[in-house]
Amino acid sequence: AQSVTQLDSQVPVFEEAPVELRCNYSSSVSVYLFWYVQYPNQGLQLLLKYLSGSTLVKGINGFEAEFNKSQTSFHLRKPSVHISDTAEYFCAVSVGGSARQLTFGSGTQLTVLP
């Protein structure tokens, strides 16, 4: 079975500073990886996904993530954050083949400070 670990539950950062949200996964087979964002009182929105190909994935709102198979990581980065990026971020994995459900990490609350 696959699992996802988000190493930081809370990440405070000042506006315009860079940020990295960490995600590690465990799976014995090939995986698909996702980052979702959840704003207060809303559902989840896809930021970016890795299915295959280039290990550097660019998403919406200036976010990007790098798939590292040897370290089983999929860290999310943004070079300069804005107040509006304050939200909870979830890393998720879906195992290739017949399994279609997503297994989510516990989430990282990103708080951007003025």
- Where does this chain bind other proteins (CB under 8 A)? 32, 34, 36, 41-46, 49, 51, 90, 94, 96, 99-107
Pick 63 or 90: Cβ nearer other proteins: 90
Burial of 97 (0-12, 13-18, 19+ CB in 10 A): exposed
Q: How far is the CB of 63 from other proteins (least distance, A)?
A: 15
The amino acid present at 40, given as its one-letter code, is: P
Q: How far is the CB of 92 from other proteins (least distance, A)?
A: 8
Distance CA 91, CA 23 (A): 6
